[in-house]
Amino acid sequence: EVQLLESGGGLVQPGGSLRLSCAASGFTFSSYSMSWVRQAPGKGLEWVSTVSGSGGTTYYADSVKGRFTISRDNSKNTLYLQMNSLKAGDTAVYYCAKGLLSYTWYFDLWGRGTLVTVSS
Amino acid sequence: QSALTQPPSASGSPGQSVTISCTGTSSDVGAYNYVSWYQQHPGKAPKLMIYEVSKRPSGVPDRFSGSRSGNTASLTVSGLQAEDEADYYCSSYAGSNNFVVFGGGTKLTVL
């Protein structure tokens, strides 16, 4: 079955760190760009970061640049998001999403999301 | 405040058509063909409905169509069905500074 499964969310204090993982199955993981998109409670979608299929190219939203690091392990079919210096504004459900075909900026497969809560 | 502007709500009766607008700028919607639309039901992950302004991924009904005029993109849902009731988000590539921007979302209600 083609699916994405996120893990690693939870409650963290402001200034803390968290690493999210996204396990992929059912498709050739290394052939597609992968992204993280977040959604604050009751709010809209916000793109966070994207990594190319090889892992050699990464892109970040200004809101997380310098604090978050996206990476992937194609041997494990897993996407990661290392989040440091977390702020209350980072509280959201974090979705991992697969790029459509050879496109980088369309997301055709999404996980169910993992909730990150930044609070003291 | 979202980069792309969508109406907060839209509605229509079963069988009718409804159009949702998405207004950007000449730096995003008006500059690139990378406009997409996502459907999100409550508590669920988003689903890609339209990409490259007007293309439908496999499995998306042809009742859903996309278009663009200048800096405004539109999603039209024809022959409204109860299951179309959801939140809809537009998205656009915005160049090498912002990459991807989303609209604030439109809640579509089927009356």
Distance from CA of A69 to the nearest CA of B (A): 16
Question: In this structure, which amino acid lies at residue B111?
Answer: L
- Whole-angstrom Cα distance, residue A8 to residue A23? 11
Can you say how many angstroms the Cα of residue A63 is from the centroid of all Cα atoms in its chain? 14
Give me the percent of chain A exceeding a pLDDT of 70: 100
- Region A20-49: mean pLDDT is 97
Shortest CA gap B43–chain A (Å)? 9
Q: A112: burial class by Cβ within 10 Å (0-12, 13-18, 19+)?
A: middle
> What is the rounded average pLDDT of the residues A59-74?
97
Chain B: give the shortest CA distance to residue A65, in Å: 11
Distance CA A53, CA A97 (A): 13
User: Considering only CB atoms, which chain A residues are within 8 Å of B1?
Assistant: none
Nearest to B6 by CA among B27, B29, B26: B29
Q: pLDDT band at residue A103, thresholds of 50, 70 and 90?
A: confident
Q: Which amino acid is at A67?
A: R
CA B12 to chain centre: 16
Mean pLDDT of B13-30: 96
Give contacts of A 25-44 with B, CB under 8 A. Answer: 35, 37, 44
Chain A residues close to B91, C-beta within 8 Å: 45, 47, 105
Report the C-alpha gap between A97 and A19 in whole angstroms. 16
Query: Is any Cβ of chain A less than 8 angstroms from the Cβ of B99?
Result: yes
What's the per-residue H, E or C state across B63-103? Answer: CEEEEEECCEEEEEECCCCHHHCEEEEEEEECHHHHCEEEE
Mean pLDDT of all residues in B42-63: 96
Q: Using CB atoms, which residue from A45, A106, A113 is nearest to B102?
A: A45
Per the CB < 8 A criterion, the answer to whether B33 and B93 are in contact is no
Average pLDDT (A84-98) is 98
- Tell me the one-letter amino acid at A107: F
The H or E element that residue A115 is part of is strand A114-118
Q: CA angle A104-A105-A111, nearest 5°? A: 90
Q: What is chain A's Cα-based Rg? A: 13
Q: Tell me the nearest-neighbour CA distance from B15 into chain A, angstroms.
A: 27
Interchain CB distance below 8 Å, B2 and A50: no
